[in-house]
């Protein structure tokens, strides 16, 4: 299998000079590539290299770097190999090519990404809403979405929870510790 | 699609071809109940005994579903807030983040997903209490290797053992900025540690300040109730780390080293002043006399001076710091570091008279009459002798005296074979100091190594430096040579016998197991004691002393209302942070008494 793996990697690197390979054990190939080359590489992998199946599209919010990462995970039934194709797009202007003409099921993943991260796929035909109804906040899988704040704003608290206590307060009360006001912003 | 879809109506009937065949998957149904998946995330279960009530589950919950509540029968104690989580199952989404962040691993999710009740409002669920039998149904459990808590401490850079014994250079090198931030981020800010700190320092707050990159705020928070934090950052007995929530399954957050990191960012007195920039109140005309410039005296002096009192300290030695100056070896606490902190305390207006021994250079009565209030932080200036045959030999000494002399810059000849008797920090300190002067050092201790009251890092450090430890050895005699010098020490081996009253195991000497160990010097490190002769007759009656310590109330006040006391001469824990706590408590009481404040 190692040989086939290496041949595959060589073929991709030869056809796509900007691709970068990361070595993994087992049956996993991992290629990072710039976003413009993604559709071409997906087509190439599907038609020429036997990766007939799109298993999954994963997405990651790299908030510190100002980027979203999209990972297309393909499967080759004949060679029993997994191919990860990853690309980064700008977080401020998140637009990615629509690939649902290559695999129909990509449409569903892209709808999810559009709703959860706010990535646009020009040309994609799909209903506006996916899971969330009447959503009026920033896309909820973005790391700057404050889930707790949203939850407290949206859902009322059940009665009977008034006896909740704060751990830090309980301990200071018992020990007689006096936390100065300027330090309190660092308390949990 | 037409209104009557013939294909859609007939297609399902093709399933009938399977009729009567043996199913491939669901065997034994409906006779056998189906189990949920191995890592199924059902109703919570909490082991109420393992849980320490840190509240990490409650603070991580993105649905605000977890409350920390008091449960009858579970009382808070040191290392346990006494609170336990309760889940609002109407809000829970079973993401199991609470399990992933649980430091103790007590919280888990079970395979149970059915709960039937006739009250539709029953959503509040106290894991462990609502399902005491949930332990057997646990499925999604916290795994130490994949927990979101980081159980491994950032290692502290240190000098190599062989390098250390060549000099008195500081052994611990301290975290750099990156290491400190990384270590600080391990803290979960529960604050359980603050209760065991005698001084109740604001630990989660200053660690959080370091984690967020604001060292100056950390220093300010630290100085709120500890004026000698750099000393504590280097040598504190750090009981806080014993109860650290992370320590239940991993290495505790390096609270001491983080304090050290923060305080060392202020490298000079000026820098401390700039950062702390304390508010010093107008002089209020009241005066306080303090005896002893040890940690308790300095603490009382610093905070009283900030509150506008005129403070004067009388110190018998040439330098301030008390036992931290004369008892702790310089490779643990360099003299410059301590000096800087003392200079800072003096810079805000505390006066110190050095080389002034109360009872000799000035009488206690004079101080008593001169000031509105007297605070005594006199410590334990004497050490217990071994009290065995041959104890009077030349070369038989107290480890405490040995450290005092070395730290005063005197030369002490101990020969090349030193035996230290004891298992506390003083014993280890004396051993490691003697090792630095080139002697072969053996520590003789009555109990096992794990029973030693000394800091485990100090014990490890001593072993790395080549100090030999003989546990379970009880000295019975010191052999002398013709000139009356120490020649050898004779000891009995001991076996550990379980204490019937439930105390720690006692060492019992084994008859006839006498062993003789050659030695050129024997140091006793079996405890210190006070010397209260300076009080004079009149005050010895007024100020009550019991079992070698001043009797004080919860405000550090002695039986003479005008006299307060703190430090080793008062508390049983006998460490610097307890002394600082005593000083701080006394400040509040003195302020209350003199200014009539509540």
The minimal CB distance from B194 to the residues A161, A175, A184 is found for A175
- Asked, for residue A16, whether it belongs to a domain, the answer is yes
Whether the predicted pLDDT of B117 surpasses 90:
no
For residues A96 and A159, membership in a common domain is answered with no
> Taking residues B470-475, what's their average pLDDT?
94
- Alpha-carbon gap, residue B590 to B580, rounded angstroms: 15
Non-local (6+) Cβ contacts of A152 within 8 A are B64
Q: Which of B67, B88, B125, B245 to mutate to test the interface with A (most CBs of A within 10 A)?
A: B67
* Coil/strand/helix, residue B495: strand
**Best of A144, A145, A154, A171 to mutate (most B CBs within 10 Å, chain B):** A171
Q: DSSP letters along B96-120, please?
A: -HHHHT-SSS-EEEES------S-T
Is B81 at the interface with chain A, CB within 8 A?
yes
What is the rounded (10 degree) CA torsion for B455, B424, B419, B444? -90
**Assessment of whether the complete model's pTM goes beyond 0.90:** no
Asked whether residue A41 falls in the same domain as residue A86, the answer is yes
Which positions in chain B touch A180 (Cβ < 8 Å)?
Answer: 202, 221, 224
Q: Are residues A94 and A39 in the same domain?
A: yes
pLDDT tens for residues B408-461?
999 999 999 999 999 999 999 999 999 999 999 999 999 999 999 998 889 999
- pLDDT for residue B584 is more than 80: yes
Banded pLDDT at B469 (limits 50, 70, 90): very high
Peptide bond into B291 cis (omega under 30): no
Judge whether A101 lies within some domain: yes
Task: Examine residue A165 and state whether it is found in any structural domain, yes or no.
Answer: yes
Packed helices B177-184 and B255-264: angle between N→C axes, nearest 10 degrees: 140
Portion of chain B with pLDDT greater than 90, in percent = 82
pLDDT at A45 over 90: yes
Within 8 A of B69 by CB-CB distance, chain A residues are 163-165
Which residues in chain A have Cβ-Cβ distances shorter than 8 Å to B76? 170-171, 174
Number of structural domains, chain A?
Answer: 2
Which DSSP state fits B30? T
Q: And the tokens for B584? A: 């701080």
Contact A148 B64 (CB under 8 A): yes
Question: Does residue A104 lie in a domain region?
Answer: yes
Q: In this model, does residue B524 exceed pLDDT 60?
A: yes
Comparing CB atoms, the residue among A155, A175, A187 nearest residue B200 is A175
Q: Do A187 and B208 touch (CB under 8 A)?
A: yes
Are A183 and B217 within 8 A, CB to CB? yes
Q: Where are the alpha helices (DSSP H) in B32-105?
A: 56-60, 97-100
Structure confidence at residue B2 (pLDDT): 58
Q: Please, which pLDDT band fits residue B504 given cuts at 50, 70 and 90?
A: confident
Q: Are residues A117 and A83 in the same domain?
A: yes
What element of type H or E holds B496?
strand B486-497
More confident residue, B117 or B255: B255
Query: How large is the average pLDDT for residues B266-295?
Result: 95
Is the domain of A39 the same as that of A95?
yes
**Confidence bin at B597 (pLDDT 50/70/90):** low
* Residues A126 and A155 placed together within one structural domain of the fold: no
DSSP letters for B115-163? ---S-TT--EE-TTTS-GGGGGGEEE---TTT-SS--SPPPPPB--HHH
- Torsion angles phi and psi, residue B380, rounded to 5: -115, 95
Give the confidence band of B29 by pLDDT, cuts at 50, 70, 90.
Answer: low
Distance between terminal CA atoms of chain B? 85
Asked if A153 reaches chain B (Cβ–Cβ under 8 Å), the answer is: no
* A152 touches B at CB < 8 Å: yes
User: ipTM of this complex > 0.90?
Assistant: no
**Region of residue B466 (left: phi > 0; alpha: psi -120 to 50; beta: else):** left
Please indicate, yes or no, if residue A115 is contained in any of the structural domains: yes
- Say yes or no to pLDDT of B120 above 80: no
What pLDDT shows up at residue B407? 94
What pLDDT was estimated at residue B3?
Answer: 63
- pLDDT, one tens digit per residue, over B138-166 is 999 999 988 999 999 999 999 988 888 88
Q: Per-residue pLDDT tens for A153-185?
A: 998 888 889 999 999 999 999 999 999 999 999
* Residue B149 contacts A, CB cutoff 8 Å: no
Supply the mean pLDDT for chain A.
Answer: 94
User: Is residue A141 included in any domain, yes or no?
Assistant: no
Domain shared by A28 and A91, yes or no: yes
- pLDDT of B566 > 80? The answer is yes
Distance (Å) of CA B158 to CA A24, B155, B461: 36, 9, 10
What pLDDT does B26 receive? Answer: 67
Contact between A171 and B64 using a beta-carbon 8 Å cutoff: no
| Whether residue A186 sits in one domain with residue A129 | no
Mark whether A15 and A85 lie in a shared domain: yes
Our CA dihedral for B99, B100, B104, B105, rounded to 10 degrees, sits at 60
**Does residue A140 lie in a domain region?**
no
Rg, C-alpha atoms of chain A: 23
Q: Is residue A164 part of a domain?
A: yes
Looking at the structure, tell me whether residues A108 and A168 fall in a common domain: no
Q: Are residues A29 and A109 in the same domain?
A: yes
Q: Say if the Cβ atoms of B189 and A187 lie within 8 Å.
A: yes
Shortest CA gap A40–chain B (Å): 37
Query: Is there a single domain that holds both residue A125 and residue A150?
Result: no
Domain that holds residue A54: 2-134
CATH at A10: 3.30.460.80
């Amino acid at each position: 299998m190692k040989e086939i793996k290496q041949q595959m990697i060589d073929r991709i690197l030869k056809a796509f000079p900007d691709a970068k390979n990361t070595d993994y054990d087992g049956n996993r190939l991992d290629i990072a590539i710039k976003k413009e080359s993604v559709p071409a590489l997906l087509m190439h992998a599907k038609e020429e290299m036997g990766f007939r199946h799109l298993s999954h599209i994963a997405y990651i919010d790299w908030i510190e770097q100002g980027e979203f990462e999209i990972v297309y995970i393909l499967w080759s039934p004949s060679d029993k190999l997994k191919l990860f194709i990853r690309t980064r797009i700008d977080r401020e202007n998140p637009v990615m090519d629509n690939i649902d003409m290559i695999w129909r099921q990509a449409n569903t993943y892209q709808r999810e990404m559009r709703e959860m991260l706010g990535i646009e796929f020009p040309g994609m035909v799909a209903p506006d809403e996916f899971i969330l109804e009447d959503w009026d906040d920033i896309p909820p899988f973005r790391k700057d979405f404050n889930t707790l704040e949203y939850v407290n704003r949206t859902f009322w608290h059940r009665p009977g929870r008034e006896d909740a206590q704060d751990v830090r307060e309980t301990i200071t009360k018992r020990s007689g510790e006096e936390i100065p006001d300027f330090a309190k912003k660092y308390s949990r | 699609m037409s209104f009557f879809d013939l294909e859609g109506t007939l297609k399902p009937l093709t399933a009938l071809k399977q009729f009567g065949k043996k199913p491939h998957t669901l065997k034994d149904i409906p006779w056998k109940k189906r189990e949920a998946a191995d890592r199924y995330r059902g109703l919570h279960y909490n082991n109420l005994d393992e849980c320490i009530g840190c509240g990490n589950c409650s603070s991580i919950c993105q649905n605000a579903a977890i409350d920390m509540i008091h449960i009858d029968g579970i009382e808070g104690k040191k290392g346990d807030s006494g609170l336990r989580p309760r889940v609002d199952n109407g809000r829970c989404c079973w993401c199991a983040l609470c399990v992933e962040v649980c430091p103790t691993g007590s919280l888990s999710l079970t395979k149970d997903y059915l709960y039937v009740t006739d009250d539709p409002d029953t959503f509040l669920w106290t894991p462990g209490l609502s399902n005491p039998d949930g332990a057997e149904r646990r499925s999604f459990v916290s795994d130490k290797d994949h927990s979101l808590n980081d159980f491994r401490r950032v290692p502290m850079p240190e000098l190599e053992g062989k390098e250390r014994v060549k000099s008195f250079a500081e052994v611990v090198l301290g975290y750099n900025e990156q290491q400190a931030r990384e270590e600080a981020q391990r803290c979960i800010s529960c604050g359980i540690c603050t209760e065991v700190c005698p001084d109740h320092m604001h630990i989660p707050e200053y660690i959080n300040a370091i984690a967020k990159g604001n060292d100056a705020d950390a220093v300010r928070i630290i100085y709120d109730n500890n004026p000698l934090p750099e000393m504590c950052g280097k040598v504190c007995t750090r009981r806080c780390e014993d109860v650290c929530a992370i320590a239940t399954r991993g290495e505790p957050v390096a609270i001491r080293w983080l304090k050290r990191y923060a305080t060392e960012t202020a490298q000079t007195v000026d820098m401390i002043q700039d950062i702390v920039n304390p508010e010093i109140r107008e002089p209020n005309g009241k005066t306080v006399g303090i005896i002893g410039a040890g940690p308790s005296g300095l603490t009382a002096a610093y905070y009283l001076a900030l509150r506008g009192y005129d403070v004067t300290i009388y110190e018998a030695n040439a330098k301030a710091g008390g036992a931290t100056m004369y008892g702790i070896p310089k490779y643990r606490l360099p003299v410059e570091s301590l000096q800087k902190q003392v200079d800072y305390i003096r810079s805000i207006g505390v006066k110190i008279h050095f080389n002034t021994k109360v009872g000799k250079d000035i009488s206690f009565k004079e101080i008593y009459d001169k000031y509105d209030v007297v605070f005594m932080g006199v410590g334990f200036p004497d050490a217990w002798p071994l009290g065995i045959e041959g104890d009077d030999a030349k070369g038989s000494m107290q480890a405490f005296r040995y450290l005092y002399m070395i730290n005063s810059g005197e030369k002490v000849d101990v020969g090349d074979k030193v035996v230290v008797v004891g298992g506390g920090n003083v014993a280890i300190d004396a051993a490691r100091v003697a090792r630095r002067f080139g002697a072969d050092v053996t520590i003789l201790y009555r109990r096992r190594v794990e029973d030693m009251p000394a800091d485990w890092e100090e014990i490890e450090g001593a072993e790395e430096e080549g100090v030999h430890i003989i546990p379970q050895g009880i000295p019975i005699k010191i052999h002398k040579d013709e000139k009356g010098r120490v020649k050898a020490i004779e000891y009995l081996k001991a076996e550990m016998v379980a204490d019937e009253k439930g105390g720690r195991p006692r060492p019992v000497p084994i008859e006839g197991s006498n062993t003789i160990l050659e030695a050129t010097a024997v140091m006793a490190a079996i405890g210190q004691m006070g010397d209260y002769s300076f009080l004079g007759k009149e005050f010895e009656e007024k100020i009550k002393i019991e079992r070698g310590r001043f009797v004080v109330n919860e405000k550090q006040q002695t039986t003479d209302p005008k006299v307060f006391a703190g430090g080793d001469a008062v508390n049983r824990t006998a460490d610097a942070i307890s002394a600082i706590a005593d000083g701080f408590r006394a400040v509040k009481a003195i302020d209350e008494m003199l200014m009539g404040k509540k």
